[in-house]
Structure 1
Amino acid sequence: MDGTRNNIEHWQERVDLAAAFRWTVKLNMHEGVSNHFSLAINDDGTKFLMNPNQMHFSRIKASDMLVIDANDPATLEGPNAPDPTAWGLHGGLHRHCPHARCAMHVHSVHATVLACMKDKILPPLEQNAAMFYDRQVVDDNYGGLAFEEEGERCAQLFDDPKKKVMIMGNHGIMVIGDTVAETFNRMYFFERACEVYIRALQTGQPLSILPDEIAAKTADEIENYPEQDIRHLAELKALLDEEGSNYAE
């Protein structure tokens, strides 16, 4: 995973991240030139790859990724400086949560609807939702744009490494994981599960929520299911390749 292309380090990680940006657009889970994904590239996680400031997700290529040092505030002063909110949110996260190797922040529609509800926890309504049973954390104290202070506050909420989805109240979601494949897969299924939940609520009918013991069992089974995340991302890259996408340049 530390291969190079044209003397660019961490090439495969860059390719995976670029593919995730491109497919997020296809799923209409993007905000144009806003939102950010990051991936740690050193042992303690404080150096990470991230998308360039204000570049549309649909144009991001592997070679475009910024290399950010979470411990170097001067990063914001350079000619290729990251978005200040990306620095605040992702910098704080990578400084305080070494287990958050990859982080994806989106305002996808259905997850953001959930983030705007009084009860922000996704219940185990069906199999995809059960995947997140006891694996969510809620930030109920939205404080404006995620500059450094807000980013530091949010990072503290990920203290429990079991909980890898943050529902950011009145804002969106932050999803973390060990790899791009794992994190993208989790983000994708959380949005899918939120859509089912929101549509079920719209029927006005009583909901049939899974019992806690079944939800917990299902969550463990899915977490230990072999290679679904790896194969998911591999298939998405294969589809992008068939389309002639330049994401891997």
Structure 2
Amino acid sequence: MPDGAPADTVTQLRRDLAAAYRLIAHFGMDDGIYTHISARLPDGPGGEKRFLLNPYGLRFDEVTAANLVTVDETGAVVDDPYGAGVNAAGFTIHSAVHMARHDAVCVLHTHTVAGVAVSSIKEGLLPLNQWSAQFFNRIAFHDYEGIALNLEERERIVADLGEKQVMLLRNHGTLLLGRSVAEAVKLALNLERSCKAQVAALGMGQTPIVLPDDVAEHTAGQYQKMYDKMEGAGGKDPEWDAFLRMLETAAPGYKG
């Protein structure tokens, strides 16, 4: 997002981010008051980097466009409408990614049962179906170092992530980057159902059919073209629009 973006652009970003929190809660992918979804704001008047984050202590289903907190790259609070501050330690991962990856408007981190399960096995996500083939050769890995309180870990996270948009944090959870909030949410939802399908398939006690590499790569490329088109200038995103319509009924207060 360019510096000096118009107010309506910032308003839309806040609404999209609030929608992301509500959607992750709606699909049961939140973890109490923990984990975060962050979004990059336009730079401040002095060039300072600024991001939106959830107020500490609120559940994801309580986040609104109005109560999102503005923080700088260290997690220090710049603007706090709700007055509860943020979990600065929880912003460690997000700040590292935002500062290194300027293509990432949104960074989304989850601790779901399925995501943690798949992150806890050596093989990671297998190309067992069309959903998981989307991520073939497109997942980075970062080994667990304990709760992410050490700022020195940020460099290792960034190095392990490279240019990818998806990371399995070993024994911990998942990390998704989006060129928009919509892209980050869709990647998270698709990764989650891929992980659920893998847990279910391997739990059947039968022999899983792993897609051939060429088929998996072809499928991943098809997904990538679709995402690139929607993220392109003026690209329409009917899937995101459908999610927002759902929230008008399921959580209409998110815009407030």
Partner of 2:203: 202
Superposed CA deviations along residues 133-155 of structure 1, whole A, max 9, x for unmatched, are 11101112x11111223334212
C-alpha distance in 2 between matches for 1:214 and 1:133:
10
How many residues align structurally?
Answer: 240
**Match of 1:181?**
182
Q: Distance in 2 between matches of 1:243 and 1:175?
A: 24
Aligned to 2:238: 231
2:221 maps to amino acid: D
| Aligned-partner residue type, residue 206 of structure 1 | T
Distance in 2, matches of 1:213 and 1:60, equals: 42
Q: 1:241 to 1:195 in 2, by over 3 A?
A: same
Asked if 1:109 is matched to 2:110, the reply is no
Structure 1 residues 36-70: Cα deviation after superposition (integer angstroms, max 9, x where no partner)? 00111237993221111221101100011111211
1:26, distance to aligned residue in structure 2 (A): 1.2
Q: Provide the residue aligned with 1:123 in structure 2.
A: 126
Aligned twin of 1:241: 248
> What displacement does 1:220 show?
0.7
How far apart are 1:3 and its partner, in Å?
5.2
Task: List gaps (5 residues or longer) in structure 2.
Answer: none
Map of 1:56-205 to 2, 5 A cutoff? Answer: 56-70=59-73, 72=74, 74-75=76-77, 81-120=85-124, 122-140=125-143, 142-147=144-149, 148-159=151-162, 161=163, 163-205=164-206
Aligned residues of 1:37 and 1:103 also touching (Cα < 8 A): yes
Q: CA deviation at 1:74?
A: 4.8
TM-score normalized by the length of structure 1: 0.88
What is the identity, as a one-letter code, of the residue corresponding to 1:37? I
Alpha-carbon distance between aligned partners in 2 of 1:45 and 1:211, rounded to the nearest angstrom: 47
Q: Normalising to structure 2: TM-score of the pair?
A: 0.85
Q: Report the Cα offset of residue 14 of structure 1.
A: 0.7
Aligned residue identity for 1:28: G
Secondary structure of 2:161 counterpart: coil
Q: Which runs of 5+ in 1 are unaligned?
A: none
- Corresponding position: 1:50 with 2:53: yes
CA deviations on 1:148-188 (whole Å, 9 max, x unpaired) are 233342122222x2x21110011101101100011100000
Q: Residue 20 of structure 1 aligns to a residue in which SS?
A: helix
**CA 1:127/1:74 → structure 2, altered by over 3 Å: closer, same or farther?**
closer
Percent of aligned positions with the same letter in both sequences? 29
Residues 139, 165 of structure 2: 8 Å contact kept:
yes
Amino acid at match of 1:104: L
Q: Distance in 2 between matches of 1:223 and 1:110?
A: 24
SS at match of 1:10: helix
**Deviations for 1:195-241, whole angstroms, at most 9, x for unmatched residues?**
11111100111111111111111101111125499322211111111
Q: 1:63 to 1:219 in 2, by over 3 A?
A: same
Counterpart code for 1:158: L
Cα distance 1:42–1:203, how it changes in 2: closer, same or farther (>3 A)?
same
Amino acid paired to 2:104: A
Which amino acid is 1:248 matched to?
A: K
2: CA distance between counterparts of 1:73 and 1:58? 22
On the 8 A contact 1:97/1:158 being kept in 2, the answer is no
Does the CA-based 8 Å contact 1:101-1:179 persist in structure 2? Answer: yes
SS in 1 for 2:66: helix
